[in-house]
Amino acid sequence: MDVKSIHPAEFLKALDNQTIDHVGIIDVREQHEWEYYHLEEAKLVPMGQIPYRMGELPENKPIYVVCAHGVRSYRVAEYLLENGFEDVINVDGGMAALALLRGFQYD
């Protein structure tokens, strides 16, 4: 299955225009990464907890997956697609790209 992706600028534009349902944004980083910088609209579900918390994810809405740089989120998107979720989108570049576009230095 091919993972769909969205460019970070396109994602932020849709977020700012409120065309993305906040229920469907999950951040798969760890708690300490989340505490450093995160999107207020996102829900933290660390990558290692995904198999146990899939019941918390929306089934009939797009799910946007974000991590630090787009690698973990891509793997989680693959996993969700393999496990029955149909509309899963990886946010390219992750929080590093989003932070850069928002003028925040993220390492």
Full 3-state SS string of the chain = CCCEEECHHHHHHHHHCCCCCHHHEEECCCHHHHHHCCCCCCEECCHHHHHHHHHHCCCCCCEEEECCCCHHHHHHHHHHHHCCCCCEEEECCHHHHHHHHCCCCCC
Is 61 within the bounds of a domain?
Answer: yes
Is 75 within the bounds of a domain?
Answer: yes
pLDDT of residue 107: 55
Q: In this structure, which amino acid lies at residue 96?
A: A
pLDDT of residue 66: 98
Is 106 within the bounds of a domain?
Answer: no
Structural domain including 36 reads 4-101
Residue 93 has pLDDT above 90, yes or no: yes
Q: What percent of the chain is predicted at pLDDT more than 70?
A: 96
How many domains, in total, are found in the chain? 1
Average pLDDT over residues 63-81: 97
Is 52 within the bounds of a domain?
Answer: yes
Is 9 within the bounds of a domain?
Answer: yes
By the 10 Å C-beta count (0-12 exposed, 13-18 middle, 19+ buried), 32 is classed as exposed
The CATH number of residue 61's host domain is 3.40.250.10
Structure-token pair, residue 102: 């928002």
Instruction: Tally the C-alpha atoms within 13 A of residue 64's C-alpha that lie toward its C-beta.
Output: 25
Is 95 within the bounds of a domain?
Answer: yes
Structure-token pair, residue 33: 């990464």
Is 11 within the bounds of a domain?
Answer: yes
pLDDT of residue 12: 94
- How do residues 6-44 score in pLDDT, each as one tens digit? 999 999 999 989 998 878 999 999 999 999 889 999 999
Catalytic residues: 67
Average pLDDT over residues 54-82: 95
CA distance 97 to 21: 20
